[in-house]
Amino acid sequence: MLTCKQFLQELNDYLDPSTDPATKCHLEQHVNECPNCFIVVDTTKKTLQIYKGLEPQTIPESVKARLWKALEKKMAARKAQA
């Protein structure tokens, strides 16, 4: 049986229409049995539908720089824990 953590790591595959049917079926079993993951999937699908209709926005360079710095810091922390 899949744990919620494992399912969430595979959420992108679950939502990807090109994912092979066997993988999709395995993930679907968890969603059907777990109300918390069902809510995550439902909310994520709704969010994607909303954002698909929007035009892309440019991100100011200062925000990009802060974002990359935060991501690099997070990745360095993960590597240090491993």
**42 and 15 in contact (C-beta within 8 Å)?**
no
The per-residue pLDDT for range 29-52, each reduced to its tens digit, is 999 999 999 999 999 999 998 888
Give the distance from CA 22 to its chain's centroid: 20
Amino acid identity of residue 56, one-letter, is P
The per-residue pLDDT for range 55-78, each reduced to its tens digit, is 888 999 999 999 999 999 999 998
Q: What's the mean pLDDT in 4-22?
A: 94
Structural domain of residue 22, as residue ranges? Answer: 4-81
- The set of long-range contacts for 33-42, using a CB threshold of 8 Å and a minimum separation of 24, is 34/4, 34/7, 36/4, 37/4, 37/7, 37/8, 40/8, 40/11, 41/11, 41/14, 41/15
Tell me how many domains the chain contains.
Answer: 1
